[in-house]
């Protein structure tokens, strides 16, 4: 249960008890539909009270009775977070190649427990939860935790989009340009790169200009930082092969 809430919230909760929900368990109360908190808990009373507190605070909320129900639902790509009991965290981490489950797992998690030891809380934070709350949860505390998690999710999404765009620009590079870039990142100058690649120095200068333009970078430092940020994605996808044979 949530701790005692303001009269206005209590009225919202009263209306919610008698009102239907849609196929995803969405509360039919006006809220900011740009964000959504997924409340996953076996306790129906807690789920509904938590959803009402979130909706009353201006955040859309979806309720699920189990992790299985949540994972089986249609993916909702909106920025948000998950409210979940800490002992259920491992169910979100089952290895899978399913893009559906991967979409469900990309959200920050707020752990909510009826009771827990200090070590269990520490373990939850090590597992990556953004906050740890105890039942009964204060409505204001839940809203604050959700707001912070949503902000973190927005930042994560922005970084993902930025990396995706950079990866797409990197794919425009020719094999020769990738080799030039790799040697530049290692700190080699135009002359050394020209010798290593058996090319004219003016050709290497032209490649450098093309790199700055294609990767939409303003300087050599910016170019190197962009390359290093996209490198983990290239390695993960098995397409990183820019090193020049010695």
Which tokens in the block code for residue 220?
A: 């050599």
CA distance 240 to 235: 5
CA distance 105 to 91: 10
Report the predicted TM-score, pTM, of the whole model to 2 decimal places.
Answer: 0.61
Min mean pLDDT across 102-111, 130-139, 199-208 is at 102-111
CA distance 66 to 88: 9
The tens digit of pLDDT for each residue in 9-21 reads 333 333 344 444 4
Alpha-helix runs per DSSP H in 19-138: 44-56, 67-72, 99-105, 118-126
Q: Higher pLDDT residue, 124 or 236?
A: 124
Asked if residues 101 and 74 have their Cβ atoms less than 8 Å apart, the reply is no
Asked if residues 37 and 59 have their Cβ atoms less than 8 Å apart, the reply is yes
- Residue 237's pLDDT is what? 52
Q: Which helix (H) or strand (E) holds 235?
A: helix 220-237
pLDDT mean across residues, the chain: 78
Q: Higher pLDDT residue, 145 or 159?
A: 145
- Residue 126's pLDDT is what? 87
Band of residue 234 on the pLDDT scale cut at 50, 70, 90:
low
Asked if residues 53 and 143 have their Cβ atoms less than 8 Å apart, the reply is yes
pLDDT over 60 (residue 26): no
Q: What angle do CA 162, 232, 107 make, to 5 degrees?
A: 55
- Residue 100's pLDDT is what? 44
The tens digit of pLDDT for each residue in 163-172 reads 778 788 888 8
Residue in 32, 25, 7 with CA at minimum distance from that of residue 73:
25
Task: Give the contacts of 38 (CB within 8 A, at least 6 positions apart).
Answer: 61, 62, 63, 64, 70, 76, 80, 81, 82, 83, 107
CA distance 5 to 210: 60
Q: How many CA atoms lie within 13 A of 174 on its CB side?
A: 8
């Amino acid at each position: 249960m949530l701790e005692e809430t303001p009269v206005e919230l209590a009225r919202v909760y009263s209306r919610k008890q008698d009102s239907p929900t849609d196929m995803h368990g969405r509360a039919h109360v006006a809220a900011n539909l740009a964000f959504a908190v997924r409340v996953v808990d076996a306790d129906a009373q807690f789920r509904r009270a938590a959803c009402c507190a979130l909706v009353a605070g201006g955040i859309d909320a979806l309720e699920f009775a189990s992790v299985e129900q949540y994972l089986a639902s249609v993916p909702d790509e909106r920025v948000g977070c998950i409210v979940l009991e800490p002992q259920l965290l491992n169910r979100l981490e089952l290895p899978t190649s399913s893009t559906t489950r991967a979409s469900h797992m990309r959200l920050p998690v707020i752990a909510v427990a009826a009771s827990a030891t200090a070590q269990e809380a520490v373990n939850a934070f090590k597992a990556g939860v953004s906050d740890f709350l105890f039942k009964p949860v204060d409505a204001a505390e839940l809203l604050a935790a959700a707001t912070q998690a949503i902000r973190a999710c927005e930042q994560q999404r922005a970084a993902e989009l930025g990396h995706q765009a950079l990866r797409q620009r990197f794919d425009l590079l020719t094999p020769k340009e990738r080799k030039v870039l790799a040697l530049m990142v290692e700190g080699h100058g135009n002359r050394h790169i020209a010798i290593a690649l058996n090319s004219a120095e003016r050709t290497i200068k032209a490649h450098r200009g093309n790199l700055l333009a294609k990767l939409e970078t303003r300087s050599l430092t910016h170019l190197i930082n962009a390359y290093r940020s996209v490198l983990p994605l290239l390695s993960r996808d098995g397409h990183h092969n820019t090193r020049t044979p010695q």
